[in-house]
A and B are shown apart, each in its own frame.
Chain A
Amino acid sequence: MPIITENITREKKTETDFQSPEVWTKVTGKAVYGNDFKLPGMLYGKILRSPHPHARIKKINLGSVEAMPGVYASLTGAELPERPYGIVFDDELPLAAELVRYIGDEVAAVAAVDNETASKAVEAINVDYEMLPAVFSPREALKPDAPQLHEKFKDNLAWERNLLRGDSDKAFREADVIVENTFTIPSVHSTYLEPTVCVAADDPYNGLIIHTAVQSPDAVRVIIAKALELPLSKVRIVGPVMGGGFGGRVYGNLKLYMIASLLAIKTGRPVKMQLTREEEFLVGRPMIAAEMHLKMGFKNDGTILAREADIVTDNGAYSAQAPWVSKTLSERNDSVYHIPNIKTRVRLAYTNKVPTGQYRAYGNQAANFATESLLDMGAVKLGIDPLKLRLKNCVKTGDTTVHGLKIKSCALAECLKAAAEEIGWYDRKKGYGYGISAAIHASGSLVFDKNFRGAAALARLELDGRISIFSGEQDYGQGAHATFTLIASRVLGISPEMITVYSRDTLSSPHSIGALGNRQTTIGGKAVQMAAKRLRELIVLTAADMLEDPVVMEKGTLRSASDRIVELPLVAYHYHSLTCGLSLIGEGRYVPEPSEYDETGYGNIAVTYSFAAHGAVVEVDKTTGAITVHKIVAAHDSGKIINQISAIGQVFGGTTQGLGMSCYEGYLFNKGEVANASLADYRIPTSLDVPDITPIFIENEDPEGPYGAKGLGEIVQIPVLGAVANAVADAAGVRVTDLPITAEKVYQALSGWECE
């Protein structure tokens, strides 16, 4: 039975293997997660949700809910000002005012002495609905006679983009070989272990404090302050340890936070709210589903001439980040290879289903599945080896891609060769299928806020000689704290054990965009590097002033020209007494070059770019279609690796999730109702389903990232889908174009159902 093995022999490198002490609090059960968090006098909140996909609320009959023993308050949309909020569009309300648009929409809420009482109270609320026609298919939703979800968005079109580079019509006329197909991916949930939870507390002195683990606490704070009309400085997010995020918790669950906050304000008591696993599937903002019709044209020698795409993405009832995800899905993948002519139409449609958001690679993984599948279909038609086809067309250092991405460092060709070599591409075993796929991903995205591209950090020398780093970037299990520790340790020349990183509190950390767009290592890490550098200068200056002699800093010790030695605590105390209480603080900022991004979206959008190529080896049982994935090799160019042990962990985790999307996962709907809203029926791979995974790092130094490093967290998931799809097609002799690739779909394809 295949299981994960770390089949790379390597020596532990003290320089690049570091685990934050927080890891030990997790494995020994001492870490405080959101669910562990309690405050005195705390109440528990529950939400009444719409059982209908589309309806008008005629009347909410609260009856005697508030008089029920143990119930402290109820809340409905009617009590709240109709002030919509959102991440990209303001299309949501904390509680539905008039319309419910999907099964799960928040209608009313109750705060009570415990969860059971709150649940009973919520069940006692009676709502009179007038049913409205609903629409579930995004293509249907875009038709003019479809039921309309939002007045502001005609024909349910939430967002659209038509993109033209070069002259694709001409290129297709000149192409020797053309391939086209439609590829689909369902909504997928990032299935973090811990269902979203928060405790909101409000008092006149502290203001509103929301205790919750979220990837972008500053962004959440800004949205909540605006939506609830509270002074920004009186809204604070404090994070317990997070039980997994994977990009699905960039904004956490804004509605949950707002409802808990409103109940806390109303009752004057802290209110705790946690989604159940079922609610997590209903309202937890999975990644958009997509239908991608792609067409690609080649010259006989394999040169890619053009790519056309007609993409429809499924927004669900509300938008969250879906327009951004749709944009990345429709565009980023175009920069893996040289494709001079591009024509893309992408439309995001509102439907009466679960509102969507994002998951790890921002839709780039869906595009990888489609493009890399199509590329292999092209290779077959051209009679060219799929690896050679990729090597012929892939981007390299110094290129500016079709959308204007500036490639400062790129080892994609090396990744492709390494992955191919390791899976045995040149020495294939009979009866097995081999697949390969390549990816690019932004490392340090600059375009979430054009006026706020970088990051800041503080490095403080403590009186005992230890260093505290304050960063607004978030460690949510991916190891950002350990990475920052190693960076500061290298700058200051002191042991990582002497350094502690603090984030997760909007009061004490610099404001940050947060953990998205592969920002943490490249941008956040660079700010930490700058802060540590500044602190080092300040320490040297202070010591020189103290000794009245020039000093140098070596291994955490200061040595003067006359060979006198001073340890860090003394320098800290010296400055402390000199200033009557101040500490030495290095302020670091990293402000990347502005992105020259024209109205067509042409321009560089990230500090730098990470690359990867994955290879997969599979077996297909043709009598049943059953797939066994034996091996996935993940070759990555993430520049110089800062922390090898956590990089390997990222590859194992992300690859497994990619495999989940490839062969196992996906929302199933029955008339708008989620049919598999449980971990029994929403099937992520178990440890028995995970193949042997081999990480390979091609360590090219990046000129921009800290110590030559680039991001890794998101890209690990992307090439898995294409590699597995291509390996299955190679083994089965037929191609499944609809994710997840299940045994049944392979069998159907084998028994004559549509195939390439």
Chain B
Amino acid sequence: MSPILVGIKRVIDYSVRVRVKPDGSGVVTDGVKMSINPFDEIALEEALRIKERNLATEVIVISIGAHEAQQQLRTALAMGADRALLVQVDGPVEPLTAAQVFLKLVQKHQPQLVILGKQAIDDDNGQTGQMLAALWERPQATYASKLELDGARARVTREVDAGLETIEIDLPAVVTTDLRLNEPRYIKLPDIMKAKKKPLDVTTLAELGVATPTQGIRTLKFEAPPTRSRGVMVKDAAELLAALQQRGVL
């Protein structure tokens, strides 16, 4: 048996209405609620369930980002993770850099599984899991809605455009989570107290031997999306049909 690594990203909470700053330099983050990326919460829940079935030795949660991401790692520890590592980086982290960080940690911890969210709800890139699998030269099972472990193999059901696809992969492997994989547990108060005693280490890219990219993809500006305006209201099906005909849609 071996550990499971889980990625935890600190993002603007999904319920916050994100607004672009007037100067186009980013989005408003002052006083905005921050949370664990929802897909990462699902990843952690899946890892915890595997450990609870005695199929993993421990669950290690890893975040790459600002000092404040320790809050999200503490939440992950309260959910049940055994220990946490923050790779402290100021400023945005490109998915390729994140994958290089995970590769270093995979070489150190020799996990059977790395479970990541299929995407983070801030940059919506959806790349890190696939990139890690490429660098690690191991299988990837993206958009997982069901994960069944069978010794040195896993059978994964994936949510794809055509419906559901099932693949079989050898372990170790990277799995990325879709919404319907599980429903993450709620945290109980005693767990929050217990989490304060669990180990949370902090390291840096330099300590891990990951180079800071000098020539990545640069974000030049942020803009608010074009808005649609409210249209006409009709009072019954017949009027609706007439309005559709008037617009030339039918």
Asked whether A and B interact, the reply is no
CB within 8 Å of B: which residues of A? none
